[in-house]
Every structure is written in structure tokens, then in C-alpha cells.
Chains A and B, each alone.
Chain A
Amino acid sequence: QKEVEQDPGPLSVPEGAIVSLNCTYSNSAFQYFMWYRQYSRKGPELLMYTYSSGNKEDGRFTAQVDKSSKYISLFIRDSQPSDSATYLCAMRNSGGYQKVTFGTGTKLQVIP
């Protein structure tokens, strides 16, 4: 079993739709949870960063963490064609050796 599971998609939605992206994990030591957006042949770009459980909102993006269920989500409201990319969840513990574990990424396509 992988430490972080993420549905690779692809996920196709019409422009304006609400997108829900999810990851599950098995390591209860994870404390920091991130979402990255990666365009083709580019490096990942940090979108959201959450510590422990709870919600965080930034513009059209909302990140949720449920540590009791080991489940994290990223919601994108009013999706745009420019949101088409691969979204990677990532997480790490709070120890000194801050190795980040990534999901495989979900490919999202927003259709105009």
C-alpha cells in the first residue's frame, strides 16, 4: 500500500464547475499537507498549504484536511480552462528531516 493514494484521473469538467480532488494517506505522523499544480513539462507550483486538520481558503481554492479519516481535499470553484493541469497532493511530518511524500497526481481538464 502506498503512503499516499491519489486517483490519477483524468478528470474532465465543464468550465465553471466545482472540482473536487482528493487524497488518502496511511501515515498518521503527517502534519503538513500541500497541494501543487503542475503544468506539462514544468515544475510543481505550490497552491495551498495546511497544517493539521481544518479548512483553508484562498480565492477559488479551498483545502480541507480530515486527519481522523486520513483524507484531504482540494476544491476549485468556478473552474477555468487555465486550471487544466495535474494536481499533486503532498504531505510531510513535522520532524527535522522534512521529507515530502507526493501523490501520483490527478490530471484535470476544464473544457470551455
Chain B
Amino acid sequence: GAVVSQHPSWVICKSGTSVKIECRSLDFQATTMFWYRQFPKQSLMLMATSNEGSKATYEQGVEKDKFLINHASLTLSTLTVTSAHPEDSSFYICSAKNRVLNTEAFFGQGTRLTVV
């Protein structure tokens, strides 16, 4: 199946700093990438939809100035958590849709963010 690589897999940062998470589709072009957040024992919550070459579409309640998304190429989208706080600690997961095959999205392995 298609491979989506997410980096880093885990990160610890100090409160007030910014953290960038990368999501790459390794063997296909992804017109659309999705960013999710998952709390323990809870479902995936869609944060935003990232389209290559255009602004991301954020879900209601997600601060676009805090969670900056850039989708500069067909294989890379980044999520930057700005001025991170302990309540931002969570599991962040990206997914990408194959542009050609138009299959369901494939997920990255996730990034566990801990803000101390």
C-alpha cells in the first residue's frame, strides 16, 4: 500500500516554543492531506484539510494562527504548533489521499507531542 511518513514520531518541547511536524507521501502524489488530533481513548478529530497550493481549511474551533499548515508540494504538508502549551500535548496524525487512484486516505504513524 501507499506509504505516508510522519516526522518526528515523538517530540518534547518547552512551553512557549514552536514545533513543526512533517507529513510526506513517499510513493504517490497527494493533492489533499488531513491533520488529526487524537486524545487517549478518544476518536480522531479532524483539525484541518490541507490542499496543495492553497490555504488549509480548518475545522470549527481549531485556531488557524496556532496550528499553521503549509502544503507546498504534492508530497509534503507541515503542521506547526506555535507557542505550544501543555494542553497542546496530544497525538497528531496526518493522512494523505492518492491523487491518481483517489482511494481512501493513508495515515502516517503519528507524532506524540509533549509540552512541558
Chain A facing B: main interface SS: loop
Highest count of chain B CB atoms <10 Å: which of A97, A98, A104: A98
Q: List, sorted by A's number, 24 A–B pairs whose CB atoms are closer than 8 Å.
A: A36-B107, A41-B91, A41-B112, A43-B4, A43-B6, A43-B107, A43-B108, A43-B109, A43-B110, A44-B107, A45-B107, A49-B103, A49-B104, A88-B43, A97-B49, A97-B57, A98-B32, A100-B34, A100-B105, A102-B43, A103-B43, A104-B41, A105-B41, A105-B43
Interface size on A, residues (CB 8 A): 21
- Whether a CB of chain B sits under 8 angstroms from the CB of A46 is yes
Interface residues of B (CB under 8 A from A): 1, 4, 6, 32, 34, 41-44, 46, 49, 57, 91, 93, 95, 97, 103-110, 112
* A6 nearest in chain B by CB position: B43
Question: Hey, which chain B residues are within 8 Å of A102, CB to CB?
Answer: 43-44
- Whether a CB of chain B sits under 8 angstroms from the CB of A34 is yes
A88: contacting residue among B44, B91, B103, B105, CB under 8 A: B44
- Whether a CB of chain B sits under 8 angstroms from the CB of A8 is yes
A41 to chain B, nearest CB (A): 7
